[in-house]
Structure 1
Amino acid sequence: MGGFAALVVPLAAVAVVARRRFVIVNVAGDSMVPSLVHGDRLLVRRTRRFRAGAVVVAHHQEGGRRVAVGGSLASDWLVKRLVALPGDVVPEAVVPVVGERTRRVPAGMAVLLGDHPDSIDSRRWGFVPLRDIEGVMVGRLRAGGR
């Protein structure tokens, strides 16, 4: 029994660490078409390190504020592309929402856009607090509808 316990304890520790560092998120809706489709399952690494162009998972937004949505934790998240970080030039598509005087993304904020032009994203909300971005997609586990 000692050998079994010696194997189980390290495996349990790895499982706990993995659950803290990674999460599986289901894509809901068409905001990331054609890159991702409704039903895709994504492996997301929880991190505070971001780069423009990455697909990220963020908490739902409305008017620049986090909004709670019913259901599982994964359904409370949005999947969007991070297009601008603090200090970057504000993308033209977001200028009507944030104002023409704002030329750079402010400290602590980001711009998130869906790949589909009809996506509800920073074109509606404006800037998103970096603290509301949960992590970065590291892989697709299953393609939905394909």
Structure 2
Amino acid sequence: MRELILRASEIPVGAESEPRNVRFLQMLVDEIEVTPERALHLPTGKDPRLAKICEALLANPGDDNDLADWADLVGASTRTLARLFQAEIGISFVTWRQQLRVLAALPRLAAGEPVTVVAMDLGYETQGAFAEVFRRILGTTPSTYFAKPSSAGRDRSF
């Protein structure tokens, strides 16, 4: 779906009424309409201690507890939790939490919430820090990812 949306964003201004583009855009709209709404998902692992951490962060992505805090809360060592993240999920705790926060930001940013507000809610101290993590994960900044094509002179009905 992302690739279709990116392709649609590349249609030049004034070319959206060309028959091929009209068909493409209508197909995109049809796909959006039939795509079931699903919650974003990251793996959580099978170990109960790991699952508890992941579920808590899924419920509150802005939680700032570090791995040592979580270790105390779930009764495991920091080293054990670090190994569990690598073994069961395949990435570090920090990387997993960064991915979670970016995934949690996507629907909010798509709905038009300001990047600064979303960044602060998700535990980042600055918009720039959030934008850098977003860029590292998705390859572009939030403003570029959600840039709206100019609507000047465009007929948005298709």
Fold equivalence (TM over 0.5): no
Q: Which has the higher strand share?
A: 1
The structure with more helix, counted as a fraction of residues? 2
Name the TM-score class by shorter chain: under 0.3
TM-score, normalised on structure 2?
0.26
What's the TM-score, normalizing by structure 1?
0.28
Computing the radius of gyration over CA atoms, which structure comes out larger, 1 or 2? 2
